[in-house]
Chains A and B, each alone.
Chain A
Amino acid sequence: MWRLSRRTLWQAIPTVIGILVLNFLLLRLIPGDAVDVLAGESGGASAETLIQWRSHFGLDLSLMDQLQRYLVQLAHLDLGLSPRFNLPVSQLVLDRLPNTLLLMVGALGLALAIGIAAGTAMATWVGRWPDRVLSLAVLLLYSTPGFWIGLMAVLLFSVKLGWLPNNGFQTLGLNLNGPAWLLDRLQHAVLPVLALATFYIALYARLTRAAMLEVQRQDYVRTARAKGLTPWRVVSRHVLRNALLPVSTLAGLHFAALLGGAAVTETLFGWPGLGRLTLEAVMSRDYNLLLGILLLSSMLVVLINIAVDLLQAWLDPRLQAD
């Protein structure tokens, strides 16, 4: 199993380098740089100041020199300085990362739990009314923008009923401890997690249904039934376990999409995470910060895919053989 993960890690290296170069070149295509934005916001600056700022952040070097400088920095595990916040990029990103991870892990967990349960129910009663009702509900959810559901949930639960907060990740100005703190955080997380999860609930439900219908036709399922196993055992041990393989592959692939989708959810709920930091970096032309975010989130995706490989090796031991 460790050999498998080491191999995947090696294979990821060219991908990460590709991402790095692609992003670096892409970001240099953005018109204007951070110094322009800074100067604009401070109401203009003299030509000498601009030159001084540019040389401070290394923006006066040629493109290839900048890339080389960045790569050398990176080899020392240094993501550079953010001109916008005048702080190390790694510090900014690591500050926000836990918030985004909380949102994503919550949403992914919720989506997998509800999605797989709904998909199993649909496949078990395929063609009958539970399947029809659930299929329609899932298709509706699959077609609805998550942030719109979030907005409507804000309207119902925050504006009309006043049950849940609709902004931020904790109540400001309160010094809460223990259970009260946890409850406060949970209340703030409910709506964002729900808004991010809806689309993926529908996606996993559809995938699980399709994969289970495929597996149900296999000979070994008939054998399992013929040898007198209870229907529940056939479904859980023989059908679902094999059907989870394609679901887990796609869950790994969707992690990148989930990370991107968090940008909208975070903006909607004022959640201080990576998505909002990305938008701030784009608006202020802060390439170093943007590059750091893109690089770290891509590496996160690579790591998640390695975890998915390991999970699959556990689900289907045959995969370890090759």
Chain B
Amino acid sequence: MTSAVLQTAPTGYSESVWTALLRNPSALIGATMLALVLILALLAGTLYPGDPLDMVAMPMLWPGDDPGYFLGSDSLGRDVAAGIAHGARGSLLIAASATLISVLIGGLVGALAGYHGGKLGDVLMRICEVFQTVPSFLLVIVIVAIGNPTLGIIALAIGISSWPTVARLVRAEFRTLREADFVTAARSLGFSDRAIILREILPNALAPLVVTTSILIAQAILVEAGLAFLGMSDPNQASWGAMLGSGREQIASGWYLTALPGLAIIFVVLALNLLGDGLNDALNPRLRRYIP
């Protein structure tokens, strides 16, 4: 009987979520925009084979000057269109890995602090507070300076500086849910803490976490752009932030060099924020018409 209840509850929940998502215009627009960027990132190698950092054209071609390089070229003769396509790959990869790191650390800390509470919870929240008090962007700069500005280190730095948001959210969810009837039931059936956390509480705490994840990815893209703008980017990897940073020198003679990567960043961050807003509307328990 228990298994029957456990099986029906998630199905009804996810069906109502899917219909709510499909009826939500901002979620649909956001998902479509994000899909376009993902396709561009996946096809970057096919559309623009070869290294996007190679000098291939006359320097400072304006968009439209040469049909072969329809978005123009920068001061070193690199193809801007190739840079944008390959940059999509770099920016998304860094942002997704940073968010994964942040969700893993924050989820673990938040789950432990929220489920167990007590001394352990206090200590964990203190650590959380330390990370929230240090200006996070400065922390990112310091961590990137410790390692070298490679893709992995940048993702790690952004992840390390942004996990407290996740930890606080997960802790709040776990604190409410650990008193719920179905958790008491699972406990009285003799489930282990691990099983209760992973199989009972986590699926029910997932909704706000999904919303936060999409916003965290958007924030990570903005942080990466800022970091690359300061010159702290992987020199072997095309990225929108790095394009912005190098195009800044030619702001007077070729403003398209800063405008184009900027527009690319806005496009993908807007997509993620639209998706996040749509998910929030669809998953917010206060607004959701719950089907029992």
Contact = CB atoms under 8 A, between A and B. Distances in A.
Nearest to B271: A143
B136 A264 contact: no
A140 B266 contact: yes
Contact of A18 (B130, B135, B138, B139): B130
B146 A18 contact: no
Top 7 A-B pairs, shortest CB-CB distance: A260-B137, A260-B135, A18-B130, A143-B270, A148-B262, A143-B269, A259-B135
B137 A26 contact: no
Contact of B273 (A30, A139, A154, A275): A139
Contact of B135 (A27, A282, A301): A301
Given A26-B142, A145-B262, 19 more contacts: A16-B133, A26-B143, A29-B146, A143-B218, A144-B266, A145-B226, A147-B225, A151-B248, A155-B258, A256-B135, A260-B136, A263-B137, A263-B138, A264-B230, A279-B141, A290-B142, A298-B134, A298-B135, A302-B133
A147 B266 contact: no
A145 B133 contact: no
A257 B136 CA distance: 6
A14 interface: yes
B82 interface: no
B132 A256 contact: yes
13 contacts: A14-B126, A139-B273, A143-B266, A143-B273, A147-B229, A155-B252, A253-B132, A256-B135, A264-B137, A268-B248, A282-B145, A298-B134, A301-B135
How many chain A residues sit at the interface, stated as a range, is 35 or more
A65 B262 CA distance: 47
B265 interface: yes
Contacts of A298: 133-135
Interface string A285-303: 0000010011001100110
A297 B138 contact: yes
B251 interface: yes
Residue of A29, A151, A279, A283 contacting most chain B CB atoms (<10 Å): A151
Interface of B: 126-127, 129-130, 132-143, 145-146, 218, 222, 225-226, 229-230, 244, 248, 251-252, 255, 258-259, 262, 265-266, 269-270, 273-274, 277
A187 interface: no
A144 B99 CA distance: 19
A145 B222 contact: yes
A148 B265 contact: yes
A155 B230 CA distance: 19
A291 to B, nearest CB: 10
Interface string A148-161: 10011011000100
B136 to A, nearest CB: 6
B168 to A, nearest CB: 10
Given A143-B266, A253-B132, A159 B142 contact: no
A142 interface: yes
Nearest to A148: B262
B21 to A, nearest CB: 18
Given A26-B143, A31-B146, A145 B265 contact: yes
A134 B285 CA distance: 26
Given A259-B135, A260-B136, A151 B141 contact: no
Contacts of B269: 143-144
Contacts of B140: 260
Contacts of B134: 19, 22-23, 256, 294, 297-298
Contacts of A22: 130, 134
A293 B274 CA distance: 37
Interface in A154-195: 154-155, 159
A198 to B, nearest CB: 12
A293 B126 CA distance: 21
